[in-house]
Amino acid sequence: MLQSNRIKEVLGLNRRNQEYVRPYNPPSAKRIADNKILTKKLLSAEGISTPSVYKLIKNKKQLQFLDWESLPKSFVIKPNQGTGGNGIIVFYGKKKGENSWIRPNGTTMSQKDITLHIENILEGRFSMGDRSDIAIIEERVRTDPLLKQYSYKGVPDIRIICFNGVPIMAMTRIPTKRSNGTANLHSGAICTGLDISTGITTNSMQMNTKSIFSDTYEGIEYTTDLKVNKKLSGIQIPDWDEILTIALKCQKASKLGYIGVDIALDAEKGPVVFELNARPGLGIQVANQAGLRSRLERIKGLEINSIKHGIRVAKNLFGGEVEESIETVSGRKVVSITEKILLYNKKANLQKTVKASDKEIATAFMDTGIQSSRISVSLANRLGFIDTIKYFNSLNIPKKFDTLKDAQTYIDDNETLIKNEYIKRVAKIIEDGIIKIRPVIEVKTKISGDTQDIEMIITEDLEYLVVIGRNNLKGYLIDTSKTF
């Protein structure tokens, strides 16, 4: 069954074009993104690395006088205004003693074949609108060893969609045998979602070859064509924050409000920008198993002051796919060291339906250094325990004890005197170096989607209104990286 609320989260082609591409990508910016030479000029002026250009061939005369000997053994030929990877040919090396070059699939192309291919590029066979074009002969990116081990020849790349100065969603495209070493999803490359906060791979999908009338994908867990196939999830993309920074720099430089930035990891140069895309495809949603629309709407209208701010916003709003994966593997939920939790009014324990006014949201501190959870007296009052606290204060219990043993003895001797249905027990604690006895109440609490009744010691007001102790942290993993 299709979920109607999910439909609102997914971005379709109609909305992409009307709400994002047209309003946010001015024609002048699109013209630059559609032109690889202009893009390279723009990005290099901003200090962003792109593959080096060896030769530009603008006409047949230049092709006729091309100095083939001056070309390095490996290079890439691409049309300046090509689309969807059409017309791009990669050469790995030159065949010994022959005037021919080796392609990723092992076949060779002679100088005459390459000349003909370049002529086709010049005639505009691979270009938008069939206009005459320029052929670019450029450096071949040497894939970073980490990603190389997952790829069948070719160069895997990372696509990041940015909107309004915030990286919204990312994926990596891994070439396969079926895609003939290209990172083109329609040809059969694997797309793997990336957790925007960590750069760790999550879900992987590959286009279904059986269905030719609709672009449907199927889930995939391992690479397909390697001698030893590897698990695709859990791969940490190196230099993740640098990659996000580059993507946002590209957006700023290009003036494209809604952009797809394609970045490859070169073994020597690090991240290099392959291409800017003014109309990025929507397959990234399948790779991430998440909708773009809901993310874009959350970002629309936000004022982003800097690249760092944009990255921080993305990490805070859209990170967490990896946490969900960890939960699936370990059966434990990941919570931040400070986590927003929901606490219910004491009446909520007795009622079937809970009104909005019977709930309080508070930032809780996850503290594995203490056994029992604690709640500040002011929050306990707000949750309806004011009479309980008044009653406890009226009991004339000593304000301090010399030793913990004294406090325990007092508790053992006087516990039966405490007659209040909401006080579950009393506990001895050390507050500001003073040993005290405090009441313990039970509060219905929701942490990371799970509701449980938690026994909390009422204390003086703390830095955090609630501190969750070890007793109530079983089943959770604490992520200490989220301390914003």
Partner 1 sequence: MEYTPLTEWILKHGISQQTLELFVIITILATIISISRYIFGSKTYGIYAPIILAISYSYTGFRYGLAITFVVIATTLLSYSILKRIRMHYITRIAINYCLLSIALVIALLVINKYGLGLENMANIPSLAVISIAALSDFFIKQFVQKSFRSSIAILFNTMVIASIGWYVITRDIITAYTINNLWIIPLLIILNIVIGQFKGLRVKDLFRFSSILQDKENVAK
The number of residues making up the chain comes to 484
Nearer to partner 1, 1 or 356 (CB): 1
What are the tokens at 142? 């040497």
Among 52, 111, 149, 216, binds partner 1 (CB under 8 A): 216
Interface with partner 1 (CB under 8 A), residue from 37, 53, 63, 125: 125
Strand partners, 447: 450
Among 45, 212, 329, 361, binds partner 1 (CB under 8 A): 212
Q: What are phi and psi of 93, to 5 degrees?
A: -175, 175
Q: Which two tokens stand for residue 154?
A: 């070719």
Q: In the set 107, 214, 353, 357, which binds partner 1 (CB under 8 A)?
A: 214
Residue closer to partner 1 by CB (options 265, 311) is: 311
What would you measure as the largest C-alpha separation in the chain, in angstroms?
104
By beta-carbon proximity to partner 1, the closer residue of 196 and 435 is 196
Do 365 and 471 touch, CB atoms closer than 8 A? no
Token reading at 413: 């001797």
Among 74, 86, 224, 381, binds partner 1 (CB under 8 A): 86
Check binding of 330 to partner 1 (CB under 8 A): no
β-partners of residue 374 are 457, 467
Determine if 187 is a binding residue for partner 1 (CB under 8 A).
yes
Piece of 319-327, 342-350, 454-462, 467-475 that binds partner 1 (CB under 8 A): 319-327
Q: What tokens were used for 292?
A: 């773009």
Does 478 help bind partner 1 (rule: CB under 8 A)?
no
232 binds partner 1 (CB under 8 A): no
Judged by CB under 8 A, does residue 329 bind partner 1? no
Q: Tell me if 287 sits within 8 A of 204, measured CB to CB.
A: yes
Contacts of 161 (CB under 8 A, 6+ apart): 167, 168, 169, 170, 258, 259, 260, 280, 284, 292
Q: Is 114 in the site for partner 1 (CB under 8 A)?
A: no
Tell me the C-alpha distance between 112 and 263, whole Å: 32
Considering only 22, 186, 231, 300, the residue that binds partner 1 (CB under 8 A) is 186
460: number of Cβ within 10 Å: 12
Compute the least distance from the CB of residue 283 to partner 1, in Å. 8
Rounded to an integer, what distance in angstroms lies between the CA atom of residue 283 and that of residue 191? 8
CB 4 to partner 1: min, Å: 9
The smaller minimum CB distance to partner 1, of residues 275 and 321, is found at 321
26 lies in the binding site for partner 1 (CB under 8 A): no
Burial class (CB in 10 A: 0-12, 13-18, 19+), 297: middle
Candidates 53-61, 82-90, 250-258, 412-420; binding stretch for partner 1 (CB under 8 A): 82-90
Q: How far is the CB of 212 from partner 1 (least distance, A)?
A: 5
99 contacts partner 1 (rule: CB under 8 A):
no
Sheet of 166-174, strand order: 217-219, 201-207, 190-194, 166-174, 157-163, 258-266, 270-277
| Residues 272, 274, 275, 281, Cα dihedral to 10° | -110
Q: Contact between 116 and partner 1 (CB under 8 A)?
A: yes
Query: Does the protein bind partner 1 through residue 420 (CB under 8 A)?
Result: no
β-pairing verdict for 434-447 and 270-277 = unpaired
Q: Which residue in this structure is represented by tokens 């919570």? A: 335
Candidates 100, 120, 381, 459; binder of partner 1 (CB under 8 A) is: 120
CB of 59 to partner 1, least distance (A): 15
By CB under 8 A, residue 296 contacts partner 1: no
Q: Which of 83, 224, 408, 459 binds partner 1 (CB under 8 A)?
A: 83
Interaction between residue 14 and partner 1 (CB under 8 A): yes
**Amino acid (1-letter code) at residue 375:** I
- Rounded Cα–Cα distance for residues 451 and 419 (Å): 27
State which residue, 3 or 70, has the beta carbon closest to partner 1.
3
**Which of 83, 244, 279, 277 lies closest to 169, judged by CA?**
244
Q: Which residues contact partner 1 (rule: CB under 8 A)?
A: 1-3, 6-7, 9-10, 12-15, 18-19, 83-84, 86, 112-113, 116, 119-120, 123, 125-126, 186-187, 203, 205, 212-217, 219, 282, 285-286, 288-291, 294, 318, 320-321, 324
